[in-house]
Amino acid sequence: MQWYVSENLLSCVNTLILRGTDILDFSTFGYMDLESQRPLIADAIYRMYSNTKIVTSIAAMQLFERGKFTLDTALADIIPAFADMRVLRSDAKEATDAVSAREPIRMRHLLSHSAGLSYGFIEPGSVIDRAYIAAKINALGSEEPTLEELCDKLAHQPLAYEPGTQWRYSFATDVVARVVEVLSGKRFDQYLQDHIFNPLGMSDTGFHVPPEKMGRFVSMYAPVDLFDPMKPGMNRAEDPVTGPYSRPRRMLSGGGGLVSTVADYLTFIRMVVNGGIWNGARIVKSETLALMRTNQLAPGVQVAFPMWAMPGTVFGLGFALKADVTDAEPALSRDEYHWGGMAGTHSWMAPHANLTGMCMTQRMPGFWHPFSHEFKSFAYGLARNF
């Protein structure tokens, strides 16, 4: 991992390996920022981006346990704006080329990214993403709607496909966050604080960085060439002090809004690995976690990105699942459950190997970058010695 820092491919990276819930190794490399070259500190604060999705999914499944919804509950029964959705025709050229949906969006569709929603930036030339861009619905834009406002906008757009028939990365988990608000009667940030962060003692996790913690906030960098992940060179992508995380957010993004530390996220992951309980705090039942690790996609449907190949990967309720392994992957990696963030915060849990890995950087984009694959390969190899 030091090589990636030395070659100016990453400004920093930390790595952590668990056997069960025991730490085998924790290491830090690189700098809080390249300009001062202040060494990366152990309690640095990171933009977690889509690692937030796992937290949001756990929050929703708490409400599932309390009987607030079933996996087959129609989203429109919770948020009426999503009634009478329309679906793009297969040959659609414009967003108006749509017909009435045959099936409603159900909660299992939201939690598995098979609802037919989109993100507005992954395929900007597609009909669905052009419609999102025209409506100013874009996860990478400067607009900051509330969760309620975002859902109102999403409900007025067509679906990319019939719910439950395909997989597409999307705002679905942000809609899940709004579901949590509606069913709990609490703002999403307050719900997380009351039901996950406080019980687990996650004191550095939230939707912004307060002034007294700003010195621990890692700087973000972008590569000089977005299309060549191994070309050296990075430019500052966001100023921590004046950036969007320096103040409370209107958009409490359940899909990508959290900041956190290694220690806090480790506590959360230990709870997951330990069957839903950690330090005496029961967050979810072990049976609920088992359900979350069950494929929810239709037969033959797999996770697919236009820019990243993820072979043998399906999706449960908030987790990607390694259903099949390639010849280049360890056999014990089958049934891994995982996800990561766009800026390079990865976590994966391998039940057959009793192994968990976490690695974090702040490189945009840094998801599915070679450094994370190399870390996983080393982790599996080193773990055989323990």
pLDDT digits (tens, 9 = 90+) for 201-248: 999 999 999 999 999 999 999 999 988 999 999 999 987 777 899 999
Mean pLDDT, rounded, of the chain: 95
Q: Would you state the pLDDT for residue 143?
A: 67
Scanning 45-184, the segments in alpha helix (DSSP H) are: 52-65, 107-111, 127-134, 147-155, 172-184
Q: Give the model's confidence band at 150: pLDDT under 50 very low, under 70 low, under 90 confident, else very high.
A: very high
Task: Kindly report the CATH number assigned to the domain that includes residue 50.
Answer: 3.40.710.10
Number of separate domains in the chain: 1
Over pLDDT 90: what percentage of the chain? 88
Q: Would you state the pLDDT for residue 39?
A: 98
Is 361 inside any structural domain?
A: no
Is 183 inside any structural domain?
A: yes
H or E stretch at 38: strand 38-39
Does the pLDDT at position 144 exceed 90? no
Over pLDDT 70: what percentage of the chain? 98
Is 314 inside any structural domain?
A: yes
Does the pLDDT at position 53 exceed 70? yes
Q: What is the pLDDT of residues 59-106, one digit of tens each?
A: 999 999 999 999 999 999 999 999 999 999 999 999 999 999 999 999
Sign (positive/negative) of CA torsion 357, 18, 62, 294?
positive
As a whole number of angstroms, the distance between CA 337 and CA 318 comes to 9
Is 336 inside any structural domain?
A: yes
Does the pLDDT at position 132 exceed 80? yes
Distances (CA, A) of 247 to 126, 207, 244, 250: 34, 9, 7, 10
Q: Say which amino acid occupies 102.
A: R
User: Which domain does 210 fall in, by range?
Assistant: 45-216+243-343
Is 176 inside any structural domain?
A: yes
DSSP structure string for 239-276: -TTTSGGGS--S---TTT--EE-HHHHHHHHHHHHTTS
CB-based contacts of 143, cutoff 8 Å, min separation 6: 136, 137
Is 151 inside any structural domain?
A: yes
Is 227 inside any structural domain?
A: no
Q: Which long-range contacts (CB under 8 A, 24 or more apart) does 189-195 make?
A: 189/252, 191/59, 192/55, 192/59, 195/59, 195/62, 195/283
Length of the chain (residues): 386
Q: Would you state the pLDDT for residue 245?
A: 95
Q: Would you state the pLDDT for residue 323?
A: 94
Q: Is 196 helix (H, G, I), strand (E, B) or coil?
A: helix
C-alpha R_g of the chain: 20
Sign (positive/negative) of CA torsion 322, 325, 330, 332?
positive
Q: Would you state the pLDDT for residue 138?
A: 77
Q: Report the DSSP pairing between strands 38-39 and 22-33.
A: antiparallel
Is 39 inside any structural domain?
A: no
CB 231 within 8 A of CB 4: no
As a whole number of angstroms, the distance between CA 278 and CA 255 comes to 24
Q: Give the model's confidence band at 309: pLDDT under 50 very low, under 70 low, under 90 confident, else very high.
A: confident
Does the pLDDT at position 140 exceed 70? no
Q: Would you state the pLDDT for residue 142?
A: 61
Does the pLDDT at position 385 exceed 80? no
As a whole number of angstroms, the distance between CA 81 and CA 104 comes to 12
Q: What is the pLDDT of residues 21-52, one digit of tens each?
A: 999 999 999 999 999 999 999 999 999 999 99
